[in-house]
Structure 1
Amino acid sequence: MKAYYISINKRYLFKISFALLFIFFCELKAQRTLTVTGTNWAVTAPSITEAGSNYSGTYESSANQILLMASVPLALSSGKVSVHYESNPTWNSNLILRTKRTGDGTTICVLCTITGGTAYQTITLTDVELFRITAVLALGSYSNIPIQVQLSGISVTIPAANYNSKLVFTIGPI
């Protein structure tokens, strides 16, 4: 029986190990998760009862209309939670949607932070950053992050109809 030995220069072994480790951590770092729960929100505008009256300008959902559960893996990792809307064909561009984070939710991570998003952000058809999560020494995981929705722009100049839109939340790298 003949034995075969493989000889690898230590310098190349280090480079191969470093490359594999780098690929592994990059893959893990990309594994951010986001779960969205909540209920549909319906705004009922009051009827106009006299000439010259207009609708009240702004409507707000409950402070926890939407609940997010977000996590970013690994130490020294972060994630950016963004939101955009998808309108149906009857959406009127004069209607303005905004969202904000009304609390931090809950976490067991001592050295993790959640920042931004406590002031209303106008939602557009493209992603708008809502808030950020940073994990310092462990998995950064938050649950029950409350989100409030605001609608403005309702006016007598907008035709009476049922308008609806879908909010889409995403999490990605900063």
Structure 2
Amino acid sequence: MKLKTYFFNTKFFVKSAFFVLLISFCHLQSQRTLTVGGTNWTVTIPSITEAGSNYTGTYESATNQILLAASVPLLLGSGKVSVHYEANPTWNSNLILHARRTGNGTTACLTCSITGGTIYITVPLTTDVELFRIQAIVALASYTNIPVQLELSGVSVTIPATTYNSRVVFTISAL
């Protein structure tokens, strides 16, 4: 009678376990979510009553015009919240949109942080630009009601009078 002996190859086991952990970590890193809420912003531009006058040129929305909810996975996870706009359907290139984060929102995570985005940045057409970052240290970073304010500049009598619309798009990604 033959007896088979199996040896436990610890080197193979350690490599396999490391590979499984790496795959799991990469999967967790991709689990970022972002939800956008708030209301549409309609800029009220006052009428010009005197010949030779121009508009003030800059208009601000409410400080909480847009409310974001974002989550970043644990284990030293991070997320970059970016923004751009799309003409919807008509926009004038002389009109410039800006955005800024006006607060941190709410979170139960004591070891998480949210940084950047508290001064206005120019929101580009179709190309993402970073607005702020979220960092999770040892727990899931979950923020709600992160307030974002918009600003419109470049309003002038030289721009043809019509209705201009755009859609502001937010994304979250790994750093």
TM-score (norm 1): 0.94
* Structure 1 residue 122, shift from structure 2 partner: 0.3
Tell me by how many angstroms 1:9 deviates.
1.7
Shift >2 Å, 4+ stretches: 3-8
Q: Secondary structure at the match of 1:158?
A: coil
Q: SS at the partner of 1:167?
A: strand
CA drift at 1:17: 1.0
SS of the residue corresponding to residue 19 of structure 2 reads helix
Q: Distance in 1 between matches of 2:135 and 2:60?
A: 29
Counterparts of 2:17 and 2:4, CA distance in 1: 22
What is the aligned partner in structure 1 of residue 60 from structure 2? 60
Cα 1:5–1:47, aligned 2, differ >3 Å: closer, same or farther? farther
Give the letter for the 2:52 counterpart.
Answer: G
Q: Which runs of 5+ in 2 are unaligned?
A: none
Letter of the 1:150 partner, please give it. Answer: E
Aligned to 2:16: 16
Contact 2:89 2:166 in 1 (8 A): no
**CA shift at 1:30, angstroms?**
1.0
Partner of 2:144: 143
CA deviations on 1:118-144 (whole Å, 9 max, x unpaired) are 000100021010000001111011110
Q: Distance in 2 between matches of 1:146 and 1:120?
A: 13
After superposition, residues 111-122 of structure 1 pair within 5 angstroms as 111-122=111-122
Give the counterpart letter for 1:153 in structure 2.
G
- Give distance in 1, aligned partners of 2:51 and 2:7: 91
Equivalent in the alignment of 1:128: 129
Mean CA deviation greater in 87-96 or 110-119 = 87-96
Tell me the distance in 2 between the aligned counterparts of 1:109 and 1:27.
21
Identity of paired residues, percent?
A: 67
The superposition leaves residues 36-85 of structure 1 with CA deviations (integer Å, 9 ceiling, x where unpaired) of: 00000001211222211111111000000000001101121110000000
* Cα separation, 1, equivalents of 2:5 and 2:78: 44
CA RMSD of superposed structures (Å)? 1.5
Shift of 1:13: 1.2
Task: Give the equivalent residue in structure 1 for 2:94.
Answer: 94
Code of the aligned partner of 1:108: A
Give unmatched runs, 5+ long, in structure 1.
none
